[in-house]
Amino acid sequence: QVQLVESGGGLVQAGGSLRLSCAASGRDFSDYAMGWVRQVPGKEREFAAGVSWNGGFKFYGNFVEGRFNISRDNAKNTVHLQMNRLKPEDTGVYFCVTGPSLDYGLGYPYWGQGTQVTVSL
């Protein structure tokens, strides 16, 4: 059973930072791309960040604008999203995702349960 468990969400003020983490289990993820997708209230789900299986390629959604960094540790089956200069419009649920191919979108077969990020004024 593939499981993705997110952590690190919480409440921060605008301009602050959060570091999201995802622990993956159930298979060898060393040949899988991993990423983050977010659900902002009232909007469609949106790709935030993705990283290739070896960490050599990283891609971000247009809204990120240089504020986020994705990283992974294949030895620990973990992926992280460092989020800086957060804005109130970043508020939403952030999902860890994984699949056999890096997808700049929503085409990942495995999703976590999500972690809540709230950015206040």
Q: Percentage of the chain surpassing pLDDT 90? A: 88
Please determine, for residue 111, whether its predicted confidence score (pLDDT) is greater than 90.
yes
pLDDT at 50: 96
- Enter the tokens of residue 39: 């659900």
d(CA 76, CA 94): 21
Average pLDDT over residues 90-113: 92
Would the pLDDT of 101 be above 90?
Answer: no
* Average pLDDT of the residues in 63-84: 96
For the segment 24-32, the average pLDDT, to the nearest whole number, is: 92
pLDDT at residue number 51? 95
Confidence of residue 27 (pLDDT cuts 50, 70, 90): very high
Average pLDDT score over residue span 32-59:
94
On the question of pLDDT at 20 being above 80, the answer is yes
Residue 83 has pLDDT above 90, yes or no: yes
Closest CA to 112 of 79, 90, 86: 79
> Residue range 58-71: average pLDDT?
96
